[in-house]
Each structure stands twice: as C-alpha cells, then as structure tokens.
Amino acid sequence: MAVPRVDFYVLPDQRTNGRALLACRLADKAYGLGHTVYLLAASEAQAAALDDLLWTFRQDSFIPHERYPLAGEESSPVLVGTVLPTEATAQVLINFTDQLPEGFERYERVVELVDQTPEVLTQSRERFKQYRERGCAPETHKL
C-alpha cells in the first residue's frame, strides 16, 4: 500500500470558524476535481456544524454530502462523520480532529487544518512528527 500524501494547511490567524471554512473550501476543491472526500470531525456537534456549513459556506457552491454512517446504501462524494469507515470510502481525508486518525494510511491524501491557536499549533506539530514516524513526508502550505 502506498504512503498517503499529507498536507498541513496553515491559516495566518485564529478566526472563529476559520478551520471549518477551510475544510469546506478544500472539500469543495477536491469534489470539483472529481475526488471523494471524508471529513473527520472530533464530535457529533462538530460534524453537524460542518454538515450545515457545507450548505452555506459559499453562495454558489453545491457539494453533495451526507453524514456517516450512511442512512442508505449509496454514498455521496463527500461524507462527514466522527469515525473512519473500516474500508476507505474516499480518496481524501480531511482531519478536523486533534488526533492522528487511526487508519489514515487507507487514504491517498490526508489534509490537516491548522490555525494560530496555541493548542492547535501544538497538536499539529505532534501529528506532523507522528506522520513522519510512519513514513510520510508531510508538506506545509501557509495560506
């Protein structure tokens, strides 16, 4: 199995909802490129907020998405949930948690979202090291 590409997107500030908006923008971009996406949230409340934000973050966008676990058998190109499926159901994993996702290796690409909140920076640096220890070569993109 190939090692996934890992990208850390670093926001220049710590605006409220900045990371959530970035998650939606990146999901929108990946969807536009024909990729499937899994947005991993840290809690049900966070997953619900991301689910709502995907509908409203940009006036002219439409991102077909649904919550995981799925209600039906067909899945949307973008899923939002708090646990990773046992089988990789997407190409891109957007990690909105403060932990290294168990099973991230099943995805082609992993996206980490960073802002300038001290706690977020500390946790992100730790995940950066953990990815390296697992054979990944994470890249940083300052926005």
pLDDT tens digits for range 17-58: 999 999 999 999 999 999 999 999 999 999 999 999 999 888
Q: Which CATH architecture has domain 5-142?
A: 3-Layer(aba) Sandwich (3.40)
Taking the C-alpha atoms of residue 70 and residue 3, their distance in angstroms, rounded to an integer, is 27
Residue reference for tokens 């990371």: 19
The reported pLDDT for the residue numbered 60 is 80
Domain segments of the chain as ranges: 5-142
Mean pLDDT of the chain: 92
Collapsing DSSP to helix, strand or coil, 7 comes out as strand
pTM, full prediction = 0.94
37 - beta bridge partners? 78, 92
